[in-house]
Structures are given as structure tokens and as C-alpha cells.
Amino acid sequence: MRKGIALGAALLVMIVLAAVSVSVGTVSVPFRDIGVSLLDENSPAYFIVHQIRLPRVLVGILAGFGLAVAGVILQSIVRNPLASPDVIGITKGAGLAAAAVIFLFPKAPGYIIPAAAFAGAVGAFFILMLLSRRLTLSPASLALVGVAMGAVLQAGTQYLIVTHPTNINMALLWLAGSLWSRGWNEVISLLPWIVLLLPLAWGSYAKLNVFQLGDESSISLGLNILRERFWLLLLAVALAGISVSAVGAIGFIGLIAPHMARSIVGGRHQWLIPLAALIGADLMLLGDCLGRIIIIPREVPVGIMTAIIGAPYFVYLLRKEHARKLR
């Protein structure tokens, strides 16, 4: 009962935040006019709502789903609450590939950047697999190799920024993570992937539950841990890669959303995955709303706002965990 209420509450919050996100901005749209603006092409706010804010909201929701569920899978497989697409280098790989396109091919079409980001995320994954396979793909080796690889990829991105200052504003905006200028093209590119991959992730909840028991227990229950770990990691990378390709290098949602969901419904993944997805979308929309109104008419990138929102909660979790160990 409690778990169902939590899911309903998170869904309601997402709907409310979506309505607020459509309403607020440099030009505000009253709530009572949103429905008319969506349906009536002659409405004064039709273009703002239908062509700018609605696709922006949908991209935020879909990317929030993808990043949060990717974080759940990674934390479960690595058995480390600090694991996320950003921490193990997946987001860093996407960032380096996107920065390379921005700096080295400044006249490339706009769709090349998200394609390069997705390729960078997948490339980082296979490098991680290549390096970790020698260490039997253990959770500890995945985490350590991922952190080291992420540091190298981040250094590559910083090198490009230092040596190519001409397009630095565009690169920094992408690396911070933003929903600015996101439109229906991004919705169309995200939607089929999220619709396909989220059910696959939820359908793997039994395997993820078994992974929490440890490698020895998983093997004794008949789970081929090397094969399943590889495919689940690939699923997480696909979710994170397609999300990052649409909204930029936002890493904090994949770290915090699973924690928040786990504190409410526990570690059963049949509940944890959908609640984390909704919380990820809530954080994305909340960060975007605040980023648009905090210094009107300018915008604070959503990646910065989600970090500001999530950091105090993360500090609270660390203090709570420290207090628990002292008992």
C-alpha cells in the first residue's frame, strides 16, 4: 500500500511540475490558458507552449527516466551506492565525444553532437569492459576502473576546452547539461528508446534482486553473473547514453534518484525502478523550472540546478549512514 502511494505521489508531482514548467519562463503562460494554447493554433501562446515548452518538458521527463533507471542498474550491479553513469565514466565518454565534435568540427550539423555523445558513451562502456574483463568483471574492479577511466576522459575534455577557446560557450552549456532549445526532434529521438528500454529494465528486476545477495549466492541460485552483468551494464549504458545525448552531461540524477527511491520503497527492484524513474523526472523538471525563473531572463542549466538540489540530500544520506554505523 505504501509503495503504491509513493508511486502515485511521485507521478502527481511530475504532472504538477510539468504544468508549472509549461507555465513559467521569461513569458509566463497562465495555467488556465495552457489547454487552449495546446489546441488552438490561433492562441497567442500557441507557439511558446507547443513548439518550445511542451517538447522541453517531454525531453526532461524522458531523460530523467533514463538517467535514473541507469543509476539503479549500475548501483545494483556494482553494489556501490556511489555508482552512477557519471562516476563510472559513461557520461564522461559522451562528454568527450560531444566536445570533440563541437571543437574540431564546428560546422557539423546539429544532429551530429547527440549522435557523437551516444557513440562516446558506448565506446566508454566497451573500454570499461575491456579493462575490467581482466579483473573478472567484479563489482569492485568495475567501480575502480570506471573512476580511473572517467578521470582520463575528463582530462581529454578539459584539454579540448583549453586548446579550442572559440566555441567554449556551447561546449560548457552542453557539458553542464541543459534543456535549452530542446524540441520535437529530441523527443522523437528519445521516445522509442525509452519506451523500449524501460520495460526491459523493469523486466530484469528479479536478476537485479538476486545480484544484491552477492556473487556466491547469485551463482548458487543459477545466475550466470558474468553474462548477466554484461547485458545489464549494456542496458544501463544505452539508457544513460541516449539520455545524455539529448540533454547533455547531467550526472547527478543517476546518483541521487535511486537513493531517494530506495529510502522510500526499499531495495526490491520491481518497486525501486519505477519510483526512481519518476523521481528522476521530478528532479529534472524541478531543476529546469528553477533554472528558468531564478535569474530571468537568463537561464541556469538544469545540470547545475539538479546538483544544487541533490547535494544537500546526498550530504544528509552520508551523515545518516555514518550515524548508523556508530550505533
Question: Quick check: 178 and 114 in contact, CB under 8 A?
Answer: no
Contact 237, 121 (CB under 8 A): yes
Q: Which helix (H) or strand (E) holds 271?
A: helix 269-293
First-to-last CA distance in the chain? 31
CB atoms within 10 A of CB 282: 26
Nearest to 267 by CA among 229, 210, 221: 210
Position 115 pLDDT exceeds 70 = yes
What's phi and psi for 85, nearest 5 deg? -55, -30
In this prediction, residue 322 has a pLDDT band, given cuts at 50, 70 and 90, of: low
Tell me the mean pLDDT in the region 197-209. 91
Residue 32 has pLDDT above 90, yes or no: no
Residues 6+ apart with CB under 8 A from 83: 71, 74, 75, 77, 143, 146
Q: How high does pLDDT run on average in the chain?
A: 83
30: left (phi over 0), alpha (psi -120 to 50) or beta: beta
317: left (phi over 0), alpha (psi -120 to 50) or beta: alpha
Of 18-27, 78-87, 100-109, the poorest mean pLDDT is in 78-87
Q: Which of 314, 290, 311 is nearest to 302 (CA)?
A: 290
Q: How many domains does the chain have?
A: 1
* 321: pLDDT strictly greater than 70: no
pLDDT of the residue at 325: 64
Q: pLDDT for 221-247, tens place per residue?
A: 777 777 888 889 889 988 988 888 888
Predicted model pTM: 0.89
Q: Where are the alpha helices (DSSP H) in 105-204?
A: 112-133, 139-163, 168-176, 184-203
* pLDDT for 135 beyond 60: no
Instruction: For Cα atoms 193, 198, 203, give the angle at the middle one, nearest 5 degrees.
Output: 135
Q: Report which of 276, 278, 288 is spatially closest to residue 250, judged by C-alpha positions.
A: 288
* Separation in Å, CA 208 to CA 34, 75, 278: 41, 10, 19
Report the CATH number at residue 269: 1.10.3470.10
Whether the per-residue pLDDT at 59 is higher than 90: the answer is yes
Q: How confident is the model at residue 139 (pLDDT cuts 50, 70, 90)?
A: low
3-state helix, strand, coil in the chain (%, to 5): 80, 0, 20
Q: Tell me which amino acid residue 236 is.
A: A
Cell of residue 22, nine digits: 509549461
Closest CA to 250 of 312, 313, 305: 305
pLDDT score at 46? 77
Question: Is the Cβ–Cβ distance between 145 and 135 less than 8 Å?
Answer: yes
**Axis crossing angle, helix 269-293 with helix 2-23, rounded to the nearest 10:** 20
Give the domain extent around 244: 2-326
Taking only the tens place, the pLDDT of each residue in 256-300 is: 899 889 989 988 899 999 999 999 999 999 999 998 888 877 888
pLDDT at 69: 95
Report the alpha-carbon distance of residue 146 to residue 21 in Å, rounded: 35
What is the rounded CA–CA span in Å between residue 254 and residue 178? 15
What Cα–Cα distance (Å) separates residue 259 from each residue in 86, 227, 266?
15, 26, 9
